[in-house]
Every structure is written in structure tokens, then in C-alpha cells.
């Protein structure tokens, strides 16, 4: 009997502890399996920026036939190791969405999309359905971010306006629209992903000159006849770099026997890029815009002469900060024009140079003169691809500074305000007042203007409603970036 009582005292604590453990175990959440040492290590790990890319964005799938009409965001693992996305967050427009436990293999792809939607992707890709994936990605563009478990920013993209049935794809030059006939390449190598070799490793030998085109002018381009006129080294996200040439001679000239190259620090030329694909000449006083992706130029800038735009598959890569671009004859290397540009040539007020072109001011002035280059005007969208620069000025314009009153244009049903200045670098403010002296509309507020051009105003008031017909006062104030120069204009005009 004593032995039996002793056994009860020995087993009782064990039974009580077992019951307590069972009760605690039953209270754990269904996903308690995540609370392992391994997953905790993953969720406290910090990863280097760029280890995972936001690589492709299908924001407007309308019209797709070979792929489901499903919006998606593709990720690409740039590293040589598999990476678990446990605890990672996909951020859409500032709103974080937690990613479940998925692993992207080294150099592999994963596709994020909304749970329940139909999706197709390459068999090797990882499908990541998300209950909180945006119900509809904004067609007008949005900011996307990828955060690791510690909140460290791994990648960030602001995609441009979507084109129906075509995705935005990441490539060496930024972003471009998908070229695949399906409209997208979910879980596979991007259609536009044609990596260029590192320039310093490429040979210095010029390419073999192309056979002359019999339909082109026979005039041999001489130094200074064609000049480098506008450069976009730092395009918008989704945009494309471009180089604009201007024919300042008095005759039509072909560029088919010319090439472009970057001059290296030792003075030699890097890879030569022949312009033999350009089969049309530049007329006297005409422009030629060269880009790897014309659609990624027209998506951001006004185009007044589409025939001046040429898409060339291979062009020099323009460094954002500084570089030396050379235009030369392919056969003998004679330099036609050369510029060592710098991002410091931008107007002092330009805080973000992305999407802002550098424009030549006087086409007849010296190319390498820093004072002959500045930022394209904000009033024209920071670029004038294929037509006269917003900051164009020659000696005929010296001494003329003025801004006209608003003029109603019947064909466009808006008001145009013409201006012309004696030099680039003017900023402006422009407002409309009623006869009681109350400001009723704002046309311009601290914008970088060109040397000449037009402001466009739709006639709306500060509230966005059309102004009532009657007499109004137009007031404008311009001031120069060098300081000390302020000019004011006050003109009476009629609202229709």
C-alpha cells in the first residue's frame, strides 16, 4: 500500500504537466509551424539592395489573347543563391502586402498576382498568389517597393503609364514595353533583355563601313556640319536615352556613314556604333533623334516631327553624371562633333535630373562651351526630341525680352501666351486677376522657361471652373537664375 501511494506521488506531477502542455499546444494558431528557429532567422535576416528585382509589370492586361487578362508583377532573383520570401512585403502605393512562404531559386523568377485570378507562366517560375494583391494596378502608373523581413528597401520602381496588353519590362537601359507577341513574359527572360558587354572590355576596332545607299546624298559630312544638339542621359523610369543631331549646314546630309562612340579616359574611342541603319538624310536646318526605343521617348515627350525619330538597336550608353560623346566618320575616324557633357550643366533649380534633357542653346556656338548648354524648359516637358530646342537662342534674339497677353485660339479652344527672352535661364509666374484686383487663376508658378515659346491655359479658374466672360488682367513676372533681373508685365485682355 505504501508503495502504491509513493507511485501516485511520483506520477502526479508528470500527469499535470502533460495536461498543461496539451492544453497549451491546442491553443496555438494553425500557422504555428512558422515559429521555428529557422523561419525566425529568415525573418530577421537583412538582404542587400537589388538582390531581388521588380522585373516586369503588367498593369493593363486588356486585350491579351495568348495570356490571361490578369495583372501581375514579376520578381527576379539576381543572386546565385535561393532566397526565401518569408516575411517579405510587396508595397503598392505605400500600402504593404505581406508575402507568404515562397522561395525563389538562384537566377529564378516569381510572379505575384491576385488569388483566384487565372495566370500563366513558365514552368520553372514560382507562382505567388496573394489575397491582398491590388485588385487593379493603376494604369496611370504607381510606386512599387519590395521590402525584406526587417523593412530594408530591396527594390523600388515607379512604372509609367500602362499600354493595354503590353507589360513594362526591365532591361539594361531602364524600362521598355514588352516586344513579345504575347504582350508579356511572366516568369521568363524579358523580351527586351539584351545585355550589352562592359564597354571597357570591347575592342577598339571600328565596325566595317556599310555599303553606301544610292538613294542618299553623296555629300561627305565635314566637321561641324552636323552637331550634337540635345542629350538625355538620365531618362524617366520606363523611358529611354536619346541623342539628337542638328544639321546646321545649308544642304541635305546623310548620317549613314557616321558613327557614335564614347571617348575613354585615355583618349581612345570605345565601341563604335554605326548609324548606317538611318536611311533618310537630315535636311538643312533639320533634326535627327536617335534612341534604342522610340516608344519610350514618345510616351513622355511631345512629338512634332515623327519622321525625325529613328530607333537604333545599338547606341552608346550615356552616363548620368558625365561622359564624352563623339560623332565621327566611320571610314576614317574624322571627328564631326564632340561634347564632354556633365550633369552640372543643368539649371541650378533642377533637383531631380531624371527625364530632363540637356539642350544646346546656340546651334552655331561652340559645342564644348558649358555656357552653351542648359536644361530643357519645364514648359515643354523637359525635352524637345526631334524639333527646335526650348532653350534655342542665337544673336538675332539678343535684347528681346517680353511676354504677350493671352490670345484665344479657336481651333484648340484654349489661350496661348507667347514669350521670347534674350537668354536662357528665366523663370516665371503668371496669374489672372479680375477688375477688383482678386486673383482668379494661376497659369504659371515658378517654372523654368525656354528662350521662346507659348504657354497654354484652358481658361479655368483657381477652382477649376471656367471663368465668366469679361475683362481681366494678365500679370506675369519673370526673373533670371543668375539673380538681379526681374521683369513684370501687366496686360488687359478679354475672356470669351
Mean pLDDT (the chain, rounded): 83
Instruction: State how far the Cα of 495 lies from the Cα of 302, in Å rounded to an integer.
Output: 28
- pLDDT at residue 229 above 90? yes
- pLDDT at residue 442 above 90? yes
Minimal CA–CA distance to 415: which of 454, 446, 473, 469?
Answer: 454
- pLDDT at residue 120 above 80? yes
Burial 11-30 (b: 16+ CB within 10 A, else e): eeeeeeeeeeeeeeeeeeee
- pLDDT at residue 426 above 80? yes
Minimal CA–CA distance to 73: which of 34, 25, 130, 17?
Answer: 130
- pLDDT at residue 359 above 60? yes
Name the E strands within 216-318: 226-232, 242-247, 258-262, 273-274, 287-291, 309-311
Q: pLDDT tens-digit profile of 141-172?
A: 888 999 998 889 999 998 888 889 999 999 87
Q: Write the CB contacts of 243 (distance below 8 Å, at least 6 apart in sequence).
A: 228, 230, 231, 232, 260, 289, 290, 291, 315, 318, 325
pLDDT in the model for residue 28: 36
CB 231 within 8 A of CB 326: no
17, containing H or E segment:
helix 2-26
Instruction: State how far the Cα of 362 lies from the Cα of 381, in Å rounded to an integer.
Output: 20
pLDDT in the model for residue 412: 83
Average pLDDT over residues 216-234: 86
Q: What is the reported pTM?
A: 0.49
> Which range among 42-51, 193-202, 354-363 shows the weakest confidence by mean pLDDT?
193-202
pLDDT in the model for residue 192: 67
Name the percent of the chain lying above pLDDT 90.
53
**pLDDT, greater one: 482 or 338:** 338
pLDDT in the model for residue 118: 92
pLDDT in the model for residue 483: 67
Q: What is the DSSP letter of 250?
A: S
Instruction: State how far the Cα of 109 lies from the Cα of 16, in Å rounded to an integer.
Output: 51
- pLDDT at residue 47 above 90? no
Task: Tell me the pLDDT band of 227, cut-offs 50, 70 and 90.
Answer: very high
- pLDDT at residue 16 above 50? no
Minimal CA–CA distance to 124: which of 107, 141, 138, 139?
Answer: 107
- pLDDT at residue 207 above 70? no
Q: pLDDT tens-digit profile of 26-39?
A: 333 333 333 232 33
- pLDDT at residue 459 above 50? yes
252, containing H or E segment:
none
- pLDDT at residue 133 above 80? yes
Number of Cβ atoms within 10 Å of the Cβ of 487: 15
Average pLDDT over residues 294-320: 93
Q: What is the DSSP letter of 343?
A: G
Minimal CA–CA distance to 241: which of 358, 159, 345?
Answer: 358
Round to the nearest angstrom and report the end-to-end CA distance of the chain.
114
Minimal CA–CA distance to 490: which of 475, 477, 480?
Answer: 475
Q: Find residue 260's DSSP bridge partners.
A: 273, 327
Average pLDDT over residues 363-386: 90
pLDDT in the model for residue 486: 83
Task: Tell me the pLDDT band of 19, cut-offs 50, 70 and 90.
Answer: very low
pLDDT in the model for residue 200: 40
Task: Tell me the pLDDT band of 196, cut-offs 50, 70 and 90.
Answer: very low
CB 308 within 8 A of CB 239: no
Q: Domains in the chain, please, with CATH?
A: 52-177 (2.60.40.1260), 215-392 (2.60.40.1260), 396-495 (2.60.40.4070)
Amino acid at each position: 500500500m505504501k508503495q502504491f501511494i509513493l507511485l501516485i506521488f511520483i506520477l502526479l506531477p508528470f500527469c499535470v504537466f502533460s495536461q498543461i502542455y496539451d492544453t497549451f499546444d491546442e491553443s496555438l494558431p494553425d500557422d504555428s509551424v512558422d515559429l521555428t528557429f529557422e523561419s525566425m532567422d529568415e525573418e530577421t535576416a537583412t538582404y542587400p539592395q537589388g538582390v531581388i528585382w521588380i522585373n516586369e509589370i503588367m498593369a493593363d492586361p486588356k486585350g491579351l489573347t495568348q495570356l490571361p487578362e490578369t495583372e501581375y508583377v514579376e520578381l527576379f532573383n539576381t543572386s546565385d543563391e535561393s532566397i526565401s520570401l518569408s516575411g517579405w512585403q510587396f508595397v503598392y502605393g505605400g500600402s504593404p502586402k505581406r508575402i507568404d512562404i515562397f522561395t525563389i531559386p538562384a537566377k529564378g523568377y516569381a510572379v505575384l498576382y491576385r488569388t483566384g485570378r487565372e495566370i500563366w507562366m513558365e514552368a520553372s517560375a514560382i507562382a505567388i498568389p496573394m489575397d491582398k494583391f491590388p485588385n487593379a494596378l493603376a494604369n496611370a502608373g504607381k510606386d512599387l517597393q519590395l521590402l525584406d523581413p526587417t523593412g530594408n528597401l530591396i527594390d523600388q520602381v515607379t512604372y509609367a503609364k500602362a499600354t493595354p496588353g503590353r507589360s513594362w519590362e526591365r532591361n539594361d537601359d531602364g524600362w521598355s514595353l514588352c516586344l513579345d507577341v504575347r504582350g508579356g513574359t511572366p516568369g521568363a527572360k524579358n523580351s527586351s533583355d539584351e545585355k550589352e558587354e562592359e564597354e571597357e572590355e570591347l575592342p577598339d576596332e571600328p565596325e566595317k563601313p556599310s555599303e553606301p545607299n544610292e538613294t542618299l546624298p553623296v555629300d561627305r559630312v565635314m566637321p561641324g556640319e552636323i552637331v550634337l544638339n540635345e542629350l538625355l542621359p538620365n531618362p524617366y523610369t520606363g523611358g529611354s536615352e536619346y541623342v539628337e543631331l542638328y544639321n546646321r549646314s545649308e544642304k541635305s546630309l546623310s548620317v549613314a556613314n557616321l558613327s557614335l562612340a564614347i571617348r575613354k579616359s585615355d583618349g581612345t574611342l570605345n565601341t563604335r556604333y554605326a548609324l548606317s541603319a538611318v536611311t533618310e538624310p537630315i535636311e538643312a536646318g533639320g533634326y535627327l533623334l536617335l534612341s534604342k526605343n522610340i516608344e519610350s521617348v514618345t510616351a513622355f515627350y511631345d512629338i512634332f516631327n515623327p519622321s525625325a525619330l529613328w530607333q537604333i538597336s545599338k547606341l552608346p550608353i550615356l552616363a548620368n553624371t558625365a561622359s564624352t560623346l563623339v560623332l565621327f566618320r566611320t571610314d576614317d575616324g574624322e571627328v564631326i562633333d564632340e561634347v564632354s557633357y556633365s550633369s552640372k550643366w543643368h539649371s541650378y533649380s533642377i533637383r531631380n535630373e531624371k527625364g530632363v534633357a540637356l539642350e544646346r542653346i546656340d546651334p552655331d556656338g561652340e559645342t564644348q562651351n558649358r555656357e552653351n548648354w542648359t536644361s530643357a524648359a519645364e514648359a515643354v516637358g523637359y525635352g524637345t526630341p526631334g524639333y527646335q530646342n526650348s532653350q534655342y537662342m542665337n544673336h538675332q534674339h539678343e535684347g528681346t525680352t517680353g511676354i504677350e497677353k493671352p490670345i484665344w485660339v479657336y481651333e484648340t479652344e484654349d489661350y496661348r501666351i507667347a514669350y521670347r527672352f534674350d537668354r536662357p535661364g528665366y523663370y516665371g509666374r503668371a496669374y489672372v486677376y479680375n477688375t477688383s484686383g482678386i486673383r482668379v487663376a494661376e497659369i504659371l508658378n515658378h517654372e523654368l522657361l525656354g528662350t521662346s515659346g507659348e504657354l497654354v491655359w484652358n481658361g479655368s479658374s483657381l477652382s477649376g471652373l471656367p471663368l465668366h466672360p469679361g475683362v481681366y488682367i494678365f500679370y506675369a513676372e519673370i526673373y533670371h537664375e543668375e539673380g538681379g533681373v526681374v521683369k513684370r508685365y501687366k496686360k488687359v485682355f478679354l475672356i470669351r
